[in-house]
Amino acid sequence: MPESFFVLSKDYLELAVDEITAIAKMYDRFSKIKVISNLVIVQSKTSWTEITKRATFVKISGQILRKMSGLFLDEEHVGILKNEKTFVCRVVNLSSNQFNIPELESSMGDMISKFSHVKVNFENPDITVYLIFTNGENFFGFSKRVKNQIRPKKVKKHPHELDWKLTRVMINLIGLKKGETVCDPFCGTGTTLLEAESMGIRAIGLDFDEKMCEMAKENLKENGYRSEVLNSEFPGLLKISEKFDGIVTDLPYGVSSKTTEKPQEILKKFFSIIPKRKKVAIMYKKELDINSKLTGLKKYHIYRHKSLTRTILIK
Ligand SMILES: C[S@@+](CC[C@H](N)C(=O)[O-])C[C@H]1O[C@@H](n2cnc3c(N)ncnc32)[C@H](O)[C@@H]1O
């Protein structure tokens, strides 16, 4: 079974690790995950490129060739360079040992070059060879060029909009697959719809404010996306529940967006109508939290500033 590695940014580490796990298990429920600080090792039928294309917080990723006991390299290691013209060697030091990284990269590069007769290219190598050091195991891996994620354009913005990273991670945490449909019943400028469509997931947005619906539609149009936007209050989702597989949404906070009633009331009513068999990721202001009857929940708390901590709830 192929093993891949993902070095994650430490900004939202718990979310980032759970996102990789969710994406790996989306297509192979027997995937095995090992976490070493911000390094995640995945054993899965899901390829590292598939996981990388969807994940939000990956800094470096690739395939693992083998674990290393020292700095010893043999010809078997460099077999992956056989059909390549150029490579570069990168050291990722997640251990507490101090290394002179440029020196190590350069001497490993020389050694690999001698074995393989492949040239070093720092700017645009065909293949990047990684040596990853942790306090326990060390890994030898590689990556080839992966097409960058398609970032949707956003022409209409609003102060209450949610940043794309938190939106994307919520979609991934509930394991929505390509071709499935997500509903955002408080869609605002359409961030959820944009992120979903950029990953091949269909989307339906609802918002009671006609102006927000227009903004969401313009954002979709700019990208040639086809998600639906309905001018409706959130209970409208009940009428279309057979059309979607999951809900991803960011509820009103009562600061810069218009609301039909107090955010706490909206939250309470919303919780009471969530369809049972749907995957759900909801974000709301932590202090509005209510005791809900929902079961099987995981919560994350995200501190923004002293008057705003957000809760992400996953069902
Ligand atoms: C926090 S904003 C959502 C922001 C959105 N995620 C974005 O990135 O633009 C909440 C949205 O809920 C909408 N809203 C407020 N009350 C609503 C209701 N009763 N039914 C549907 N939408 C409502 C507001 O118009 C606002 O656009």
The whole-number average pLDDT for the span 239-267 is 90
To the question of domain 164-314 being in CATH 3.40.50.150, the answer is yes
- Asked if 157 and 212 touch (Cβ cutoff 8 Å), the reply is no
pLDDT of 276 higher than 80: yes
pLDDT, the chain, mean:
92
Which residue puts its alpha carbon closest to atom 15 of ligand 1? 259
Distance 254 CA to ligand 1 centre (A): 10
Task: Using the mean position of ligand 1's atoms as its centre, give its distance from the Cα of residue 70 in Å.
Answer: 55
**pLDDT confidence tier of residue 295, bands split at 50, 70 and 90:** low
pLDDT band at 74 (very low <50, low <70, confident <90, very high): low
Residue ID of nearest Cα to ligand 1 atom 26: 188
Substitution site in 163, 168, 207 for ligand 1 pocket (most atoms within 8 Å of beta carbon): 207
Asked whether the beta carbons of 249 and 283 are under 8 A apart, the reply is yes
Distance 204 CA to ligand 1 centre (A): 14
Q: Which tens digits make up the pLDDT trace of 81-122?
A: 888 899 999 999 999 999 899 999 999 899 888 888 899 999
Q: What is the pLDDT of residue 251?
A: 95
- Name which CATH class applies to 3-144: alpha beta
> What residue spans define the domains of the chain?
3-144, 164-314
Distance in Å, CA 185 to ligand 1 centroid: 8
In the structure, what pLDDT confidence band is assigned to residue 185 with cuts at 50, 70 and 90? very high
How many Å lie between the centroid of ligand 1 and the Cα of residue 267? Answer: 12
Residue 80, token pair as written in the block: 């992956």
Tell me the pLDDT band of 197, cut-offs 50, 70 and 90: very high
Among candidates 65, 80, 84, which has minimal Cα distance to 5?
65
- Residue with the bigger pLDDT between 312 and 147: it is 312
Atom of ligand 1 nearest to the CA of 185: 21
> Nearest residue CA, atom 25 of ligand 1?
209
What's residue 116's pLDDT? Answer: 84
Ligand 1, pocket residues at CB < 6 Å: 158, 160-162, 185-186, 188-189, 191, 206-209, 212, 233-234, 250, 252-253, 257-260, 266
Pair type for strands 246-250 and 228-231: unpaired
Q: Can you tell me which atom of ligand 1 is nearest the CA of 215?
A: 9
Share of the chain above pLDDT 70, in %: 95
In angstroms, the CA 143 to CA 128 distance is 5
Atom of ligand 1 nearest to the CA of 158: 9
Q: Looking at ligand 1, which residue's alpha carbon is closest to its atom 7?
A: 161
Higher-pLDDT residue of 193, 261: 193
Residue with tokens 């509820």: 251
For 203-209, what is the mean pLDDT?
97
pLDDT over 70 (residue 70): no
What's the mean pLDDT in 254-278?
Answer: 87
pLDDT score at 309: 93
Judge whether 3-144 and 164-314 match in fold. no
Distance 291 CA to ligand 1 centre (A): 22
In this prediction, residues 58-65 reach a mean pLDDT of 95
Q: Model pTM? A: 0.94
Residue 165: pLDDT band with limits 50, 70, 90: very high
